[in-house]
Chain A
Amino acid sequence: MEQKNNTLLIYTLLYFAFLYVPVLFLPLFSFNDGNYMSFPLTGFTTEHYEEMWSKSNLHNALWASIKVGVVASIVSTTIALFAAKAFARYKFRGQNISYGAIMMPFLIPEIILAVSLLIIWLALGFKLGLVPVTLGHILFCTPFAMLILIARIEGFDFSLEEASRDLGENAWGTFFRVSLPLYLPGIIASLLLSFIISFDEFVLAFFLTGSDATLPMYMWAQMRFVQKLPHVLALGAVIIVFTTLIVLLAFWLRNLGQGKKKAEFGINIHE
């Protein structure tokens, strides 16, 4: 038994090392006083971080990413909320097919999604820019938002909504006074994760941005110049920290109150 546990421990450690050691090189070299990602380190500097304050291109790209991310996360979470409610609450004809259809962008290679959006967008005679990127991100984020919200809404006691109707509230009143507050942790988790997915997304942005770069596009452009590499590393390190914090927050919110809820309510059985 002891032997087996050790093997598993070693496996686990290797697994995490494989996942995270490469990522840790980013912050490491971002503090290195040199242009190349190689050992030995030549000296400690925060110059690459300081540089970020002065780059207006970077600021524009950051602002573009935030705009796209905010709109995409709100729209995809809204769409996903309606869909998740329908899937969790009702049984209807074509349920599996429509579920599959919404999840499809998950499975289609992103580049194909990007190319087809590009073709349609140009064929319709529109200009490339942040609008098509946002639309692409909505499409791409919705399945993620759906997964989070379905997990939250499944097991929801729908007799609470019936109770609200019974107590004189109409459908809107019920939504705002009962459903929304109870779904809220899931909705916030979905907003945060959708935002992060949009914020980090590269392929769709690459095809659809035109001249307004998003942050990943900006980084990609910088990478072509060797002397800009440390700057990209510093930016990458900041993004990793920021992303990790948001994802942790999202998961914490998603699970908030859920263990308690399951113990508290039985499943509502109608004859």
Chain B
Amino acid sequence: MNSSFIQINEISKHFGSVRAVDNVSFQIHEGEFFSLLGPSGCGKTTLLRLLAGFEYPTTGNLLLDGIDITSLPPDKRPTNMVFQNYAIFPHINVEKNIQFGLRKLGLSKEQIEKRVKDVLSLVKLEGYEERFSSQLSGGQRQRVALARALVRQPKVLLLDEPLGALDKKLRDEMQLELRSLQKEIGITFVFVTHDQQEAISMSDRVAVMSEGKIQQLSAPNELYKNPQNIFVSDFIGETNFLKASTKTQDGEYINVSIENLGEFKIKNNLNISENSFDVVCSIRPEAMKIDTVKSDWDICLEGKIRQTSYLGEMTKFYVETKELEKIITVSSQHFDNQSFKNNDCFISISLEDISLLDKK
């Protein structure tokens, strides 16, 4: 397995004065499901289009399987793309759409027929050969787009928010299907999405982007458990931020003073030094406990519930405390809004659930 299958070296892309991609370097492994995740305008689509060859970088270079592809046009690259709106050719039927990219590969008629047949069964679209784009549902169009790209047996499949146009149920289904498809054929997938849940559930690794830069690149569970900065922590799931400042260092722990709560020993997950003041503490809503009675956890705060939202599998409480400036969000599976008298509650926090974040 080649761990530097795709090398993105100091790539920048400027559109006028806008730096869509700003000096980005990282590597994508062979055969992995890699996601570019970020809010709209973060540069993820531009980066994907740079990989596809629809844009050329302002500076930097791209290597794919050891070959410099920086200035190759899209038709000369061993990549294929699934477009956001699928871009199914409306004037030809499904079969012709899928055959479209095979013309220049020098295959025999039998080989072409076999490839089309195989890919149609791979995406479960047998029997749809004669249909036109206008006669297909969103999910079926997506399968055609996938088949049309995969039939060329690319080294890398690029996917530009391919699930964005589907309804929730179909999207969940397609997520599972795409993931198992990728495992089955073993092609490297580069997947662009703004949906953090999607990225986390499907990917081997995720690069979180913002303002043209990679904020963090790691495995999904790392991203959630150990975010490197405020942006990532906020973007991946929900979190509460507590104002903090660092004091003395003590091995792998660091003494941190948290607003109005006192000083605590917290695991130094970022290697923050004791004289770094730009830190905040973050704690996930589901890591805290909400109860009607006091607990003996590391931190226990008395609070008042200001608002609740019932989400089915859990309830979210927005709690005001004397100590903290901001209202904090706690989620619980065990209580609902009927359980608390006068909205009085106790929130318990365990120190090991607090993580330190770089403010930048």
- By a beta-carbon cutoff of 8 Å, the part of chain A in contact with chain B is 157, 159-160, 162-170, 177-178, 181-182, 260-261, 264-266, 268-271
* Minimal beta-carbon separation of A181 from chain B (angstroms): 5
Interface of B is mostly: mixed
In whole angstroms, what is the CA distance A196 to B43 when docked? 49
Evaluate contact between B74 and A271: CB separation under 8 angstroms.
no
Given known A162-B54, A165-B73, contact A270–B90 (CB-CB < 8 A)? no
Q: Does B84 contact A (CB under 8 A)?
A: yes
Q: Does B62 contact A (CB under 8 A)?
A: no
Binary contact track B221-265/A, C-beta < 8 Å → 1, others 0: 000000000000000000000000000000000000000000000
Evaluate contact between B45 and A271: CB separation under 8 angstroms.
yes
- A157, A163, A260: the one contacting B81 at CB < 8 Å is A163
Evaluate contact between A182 and B84: CB separation under 8 angstroms.
no
In whole angstroms, what is the CA distance A270 to B101 when docked? 23
Q: Does B91 contact A (CB under 8 A)?
A: yes
For A184, the closest partner residue in chain B by CB is: B91
Q: Does B40 contact A (CB under 8 A)?
A: yes
Evaluate contact between A165 and B75: CB separation under 8 angstroms.
yes
Q: A266 contacts which chain B residues (CB < 8 A)?
A: 85, 165
In whole angstroms, what is the CA distance A271 to B49 when docked? 10
Q: Besides A160-B87, A165-B54, A271-B45, 14 other CB < 8 A contacts? A: A160-B90, A162-B52, A163-B87, A163-B148, A165-B74, A166-B54, A166-B74, A166-B149, A169-B75, A170-B73, A177-B100, A178-B89, A182-B90, A269-B84
Evaluate contact between A162 and B83: CB separation under 8 angstroms.
yes
| Residue contacts A-B, CB under 8 angstroms, 17 given | A157-B85, A160-B89, A162-B54, A163-B87, A164-B89, A164-B100, A165-B54, A166-B74, A166-B81, A167-B100, A168-B103, A168-B104, A170-B75, A178-B89, A182-B90, A265-B90, A270-B46
Q: Does B105 contact A (CB under 8 A)?
A: yes
Q: A162 contacts which chain B residues (CB < 8 A)?
A: 52, 54, 74, 81, 83, 87
Q: B105 contacts which chain A residues (CB < 8 A)?
A: 168
Interface residues of B in 61-100 (CB under 8 A from A): 73-75, 79-81, 83-85, 87, 89-91, 100
Q: A268 contacts which chain B residues (CB < 8 A)?
A: 83-85
Q: Does B205 contact A (CB under 8 A)?
A: no
Q: Does B20 contact A (CB under 8 A)?
A: yes
For B194, the closest partner residue in chain A by CB is: A271
- A160, A170, A182, A271: the one contacting B44 at CB < 8 Å is A271
Q: A163 contacts which chain B residues (CB < 8 A)?
A: 81, 83, 87, 89, 148
Evaluate contact between A271 and B43: CB separation under 8 angstroms.
yes
In whole angstroms, what is the CA distance A260 to B73 when docked? 32
Evaluate contact between A159 and B75: CB separation under 8 angstroms.
no
Interface residues of B in 24-53 (CB under 8 A from A): 40-46, 49, 52-53
Q: B100 contacts which chain A residues (CB < 8 A)?
A: 164, 167, 169, 177
In whole angstroms, what is the CA distance A269 to B105 when docked? 31
Q: A181 contacts which chain B residues (CB < 8 A)?
A: 91
In whole angstroms, what is the CA distance A124 to B89 when docked? 49
Given known A271-B43, A271-B46, contact A168–B101 (CB-CB < 8 A)? yes
Q: Does B210 contact A (CB under 8 A)?
A: no
For A265, the closest partner residue in chain B by CB is: B85
In whole angstroms, what is the CA distance A163 to B148 when docked? 10
Q: Does B133 contact A (CB under 8 A)?
A: yes
* Minimal beta-carbon separation of B76 from chain A (angstroms): 8
Nearest 4 Cβ contacts at the A-B interface: A167-B101, A163-B87, A271-B45, A165-B74
Q: A270 contacts which chain B residues (CB < 8 A)?
A: 45-46, 49
